[in-house]
Chains A and B, each alone.
Chain A
Amino acid sequence: MKLLVPVKRVVDYNVKVRVRADGSGVETAGVKMSMNPFDEIAVEEAVRLKEKGVASEVVAVSLGVAACGETIRTALAMGADRGILVETDAELQPLAVAKLLRAIAEREKPGLIILGKQAIDDDMNATGQMLAALLGWPQGTFASKVEIAGETIAVTREIDGGLETVSLSLPAIVTTDLRLNEPRYASLPNIMKARKKPIETLTPAALGVDPAPRLALVTVVEPAKRQAGKKVGSVAELVAKLKTEAKVI
């Protein structure tokens, strides 16, 4: 079974983002970029399924500017076999991404597509669900455990009150939550090896998809800052303040 893993290039999770003064967005120039952390978990899970012999091939896909090729290289260094880059300078929103991924899924015919549950830049949490809808496949979102048995996959999902397990017929979509696994660091030999793995480059036009955004950005602002309050000297003082000053207890 072939696995498809979409990976997104985002501002590194350690970077403290800065909102541009003109309200046009968040400053990304000169900022460290990395693979979306949830996508790393997706790559790790796919590679583990290959190592277990459940999957035969892992294909990493990224969409966006040419530099997304680096994100694919990271996936290849973690153990993916080959990459597909859909190169465009256009802003891609989840609906367009889902349409592009559908086109790739129709070409590649994977048995399972594993995606991160959300990207840490736009925090949309939508692409996996949308891709599942467009392909007419079942979805197991926010997965903390997956088990493939024959033609079905059991997905344990993180839900608000605890955990839920669903059984999906393959092909299916899984989106990863934090506890699915701990992604590996690519070793130097594997990073070297990844340089020789093939990456195919495509365009939205070649896939027959119009990637035009549906949401227009009006403005981006910094949220109101909270002011640091005061230090209290003791538990008794804290309780007194909460009662008489803040009046919350």
Chain B
Amino acid sequence: MTALVLLEHDGHAVKQPSRSALAAAARLGGEVHALLAGSGLAEITVAAARLPGVTKLLVADAEAYAHALAEPLAALLVALAPAYTHIFAAATAMGKNVLPRAAALLDSQPISDISDVIDADTFVRPIYAGNALATVRSADAKKVITVRAASFDPVAAEGGSAAAEPVEVPAAPSGSRFVSAELVKSERPELTAARVVISGGRGMQNGENFHLLERVADRLHAAVGASRAAVDAGFVSNDMQVGQTGKIVAPELYIAVGISGAIQHLAGMKDSKVIVAINKDEEAPIFQVADYGLVADLFKALPELADELERGT
């Protein structure tokens, strides 16, 4: 039994959700290999070879993988699949795009977004926006699995010494071409990797008011998120959305501000270690999941909170 984990990276570092996928793969108890695909991988190969628990690092360096398009990556996974019983990736936009495509080519029903590993065939995954947990057993010869990163503590970034090995690159399917990317630049940690997340909802009233959250975020080295209501209202961009249809986070501290606590939002953050809710409506459902609730006008409470944190640090 050997598992292959498709790594996600930015050319310099392996993304934290991939390190959670490695942790999930390690739970099987067999050997774990990792796959690094991209274009110009010299620097990242050195970093990825240090990931603990990885015995072999496969390196697929070709222009076709430069933008992580699903079509060539799925073809690559299929070419490598004969040596593996399990193929993993983090359930990120990239993993969710690529793995089901590879699974279909392998005639395997993918197991999406797992939150626990029971044994080599059996996994737990949330359904109905996390309102139920299904344990499923796969009958497929090859399991193709995406991993809910928030449910597995990531392996360390270094400590291992995998042997890096270039792989033969199959012909890339034609039909898709990368055009452009518009990435939001931020000095803050990524939502799915941050130790502290502070999110705003419809109560923020507009996008400009998110600077009130940012001031607090600066003090706490937090990522800034948003509810779907805030995204739908056009306050902020969708990459900030926390919830069933956005990002799933489980930080040490989650601060929900002006968020009522719709099921679809709770689905994205209820596994956080400590939840704080600030809302002027004391009946808001968010208080039912919050460890600490503050019934207050956020426009008063946020500046106060920033001041208080500035004083204390």
Q: 1/0 contact trace for B83-103 toward A, CB 8 Å?
A: 000000000111011111111
Closest to A38 in B: B245
Residues of A within 8 A of B259 (CB): none
Distance to closest chain B CB from A205 (angstroms)? 19
Closest to B98 in A: A129
Size bracket, chain A contacts: 35 or more
Separation of A121 and B128 alpha carbons in the complex (Å)? 5
Residues of B within 8 A of A222 (CB): 131-133
Contact B239 A228 (CB under 8 A): no
Q: Is B183 an interface residue (CB 8 A)?
A: yes
Contact B138 A214 (CB under 8 A): yes
Query: With A26-B127, A122-B127, A141-B70 given, is the CB distance from A93 to B181 under 8 Å?
Result: no
Contact A248 B126 (CB under 8 A): no
Closest to A222 in B: B132
**What number of A-B contacts does a CB cutoff of 8 Å give?**
265
Contact A217 B134 (CB under 8 A): yes
Q: Is B304 an interface residue (CB 8 A)?
A: yes
Residues of A within 8 A of B308 (CB): 235-236, 239
Secondary structure type dominating chain A contacts: mixed
B144-180 residues with Cβ-Cβ distance < 8 A to A are 173-180
Q: 1/0 contact trace for A157-197 toward B, CB 8 Å?
A: 11111111111110010000111000000000000000000
Contact A249 B293 (CB under 8 A): no
Residues of A within 8 A of B131 (CB): 16-17, 19, 26, 222-223
- Which listed residue, B71, B245, B270, B293, touches A226 by the CB 8 Å rule? B270
Contact A169 B174 (CB under 8 A): yes
> Mind listing 27 A-B residue pairs with CB under 8 Å?
A16-B131, A93-B109, A120-B129, A123-B129, A125-B113, A129-B104, A133-B74, A133-B103, A138-B175, A141-B70, A141-B96, A160-B93, A163-B181, A163-B182, A163-B183, A165-B178, A166-B176, A177-B238, A215-B139, A218-B135, A230-B292, A231-B294, A232-B293, A235-B294, A239-B308, A246-B274, A249-B309
Shortest 3 CB-CB contacts between residues of A and residues of B: A130-B104, A229-B291, A214-B109
| Interface residues, chain B, with chain A CB atoms under 8 Å away | 67, 69-71, 74, 92-94, 96-105, 107-113, 122, 125-140, 173-184, 190, 192, 196, 220, 228, 231-232, 237-239, 244-245, 247, 252-253, 263-264, 270, 273-276, 282, 287-296, 301, 304-305, 308-309, 312
